[in-house]
A and B are shown apart, each in its own frame.
Chain A
Amino acid sequence: MSDRPDEVGGVVDANEPVRVRGFGAGLVVLGVIGLLAAFTLTVDKFRLLEDPTYTPSCNLNPVLSCGSVMVTEQASAFGFPNPLLGLIGFSVVVTIGVVLATGTRLPHGIMVGLAVGAAAGLAFVHWLAFQSLYRIDALCPWCMVVWAVTIPIAVWSVLVALRLRGSHRLVEGLWSVRYLIVLFWYLVILVLILVRFWDYWSTQL
């Protein structure tokens, strides 16, 4: 009888440590944002092909401009425009997110697949960020939206996949600070952008 309070209080949760509904909802929100960004970039790419003088709406100033970024080689890293990858990838993210958000459990293989795919996206996004900052010398706002959503999608998917394999202190610790991880990631990129384009920002003040 003495173990009953524990059962009501803690043991039930310990039997079911990985709750994925909230994560699923997060995937839906982030995936939809990423999808919108990729869609806009794709449409702008079409417009730019139809009319080379077309100025995309996100050409704000020399640093924040997608027109100058979209015409580069890096914008078609695999021989076709990158946002096509985003259309595919974010659609999958949204789909898995919706299923998880309904409380449905998915086979571990699918969660691992999500983690691997998202990690590949993360690597690609960082390559693009490096090219944008240090080779193209311009930032494209919609591309940065894609960077911004890919980071949490990848970090959290990897952590969830690891948690589903079994409880581990390091993984649980990282999971408990998952928002901070993403925040610090953003901070690093923000600082790199500030430093890189300081000449430009400082003349705007």
Chain B
Amino acid sequence: MSKQSKKKPNLPPVPAEQRAASADRRAAAAQLMQQQRRRDRRRTVLIQVAVGLVAVVAVVATTLVVLSQRDGDGAVATTPPGLTEDGAVRFGAADAPVTLQAVEDFQCPACRQFEQANVDLLTSYREGDQVAVEYRPIAFLDRMSTTGYSTRALNASMCVLEDAGKDAWLAMHQSLYEQQPPEGGAGLPDDQLVGMAEDAGAGGAVEGCIDDGRYDDWAAQQTADVFSGEVSGTPTVFVNGTKLGGTDTASIQKAVAEAGAK
């Protein structure tokens, strides 16, 4: 065909205007085609952008809703048994003239140092009849671990308190500080907390309590309550309700003596 049309032996010459018109038609058709394709492409892009946006919003929103519901399913926080009115575990004589209260977080390295430095002093207070010792634990350092360790540790200690009482809680408290995980890590896993709780004297029921985070909501409530007062960090020590400037042994002894312990 192309050879023939090149030679065009017997056809009359196509008039110039007719040729021009056919070229115009062709050009117009080509343009139309191109427009059509551009429209198609634009539509495809628009559809994909729309699908993409809807998918992003839907997936992220669903995830956030599901996760936040998982957090706040317990409407009323269960309070651990055996605490004082302001949420402390109290040791020592009921009628002791002086009350020392320590606000601590199980993830806080300074609290660990406080415990190590004052273990003898606090033990002697607990065993004497002059100074009652109250531990008021909070959990505000969840952001220092990847697993919310602060709250998990506090919950675990309260599970021990519920299951085995104050002395077991004290043992748990001590081993939580002895085995305190460093900040910036994943904390101790739940099964290790269960093991420590059982070593401290708790029974088998403690496992469910730790796994379920039974006192997580209470821990959040307690932490908020404590921070609404004079506490802005841990450890913080109160002697008969007065906040101490320092938490070293000398400061504590001085404050306790001034408060009237014999």
Give the B-binding residues of A (Cβ under 8 A).
4-5, 8-10, 61-63, 65, 68, 137-138, 176-177, 179-180, 183-184, 187, 190-191, 194-195, 197-200, 202-204
Contact = CB atoms under 8 A, between A and B. Distances in A.
A131 to B, nearest CB: 13
A194 B143 contact: no
A148 to B, nearest CB: 15
Contacts of A176: 44
Interface stretch (B53-61, B82-90, B130-138, B253-261): B53-61
B33 interface: yes
Contact of A9 (B33, B56, B185): B33
B71 interface: yes
A61 B67 CA distance: 21
A180 B68 contact: no
B185 A199 contact: no
B147 interface: yes
B4 to A, nearest CB: 12
Given A62-B144, A180-B51, 8 more contacts: A8-B30, A68-B184, A179-B52, A187-B56, A190-B59, A200-B147, A200-B148, A202-B67
Given A62-B146, A187-B56, A200-B146, A195 B30 contact: no
Nearest to A13: B37
B102 to A, nearest CB: 23
A9 B29 contact: yes
A55 to B, nearest CB: 11
B55 to A, nearest CB: 7
Contacts of B51: 180
B183 A194 contact: no
Contact of B64 (A10, A68, A184, A194): A194
B145 interface: yes
**B contact patch SS:** helix
A126 to B, nearest CB: 19
Interface in B46-85: 48, 51-52, 55-56, 59-60, 63-64, 67-68, 70-71
Contacts of A203: 142-143, 148
B26 interface: yes
Interface string B209-225: 00000000000000000
Contacts of A62: 143-146, 183-185
Contacts of A200: 142-143, 145-148
A138 B184 CA distance: 9
Lowest 8 CB-CB distances: which A-B pairs, in order?
A: A9-B33, A199-B148, A137-B186, A203-B142, A5-B29, A8-B30, A137-B146, A62-B184
B55 A187 contact: yes
A5 B23 CA distance: 10
B33 A68 contact: no
28 contacts: A4-B26, A5-B30, A9-B34, A62-B144, A62-B146, A62-B184, A63-B146, A65-B184, A137-B146, A137-B147, A137-B185, A177-B48, A180-B48, A180-B55, A183-B55, A191-B59, A198-B70, A198-B71, A199-B142, A199-B146, A199-B147, A199-B148, A200-B145, A202-B67, A202-B68, A202-B71, A203-B142, A203-B148
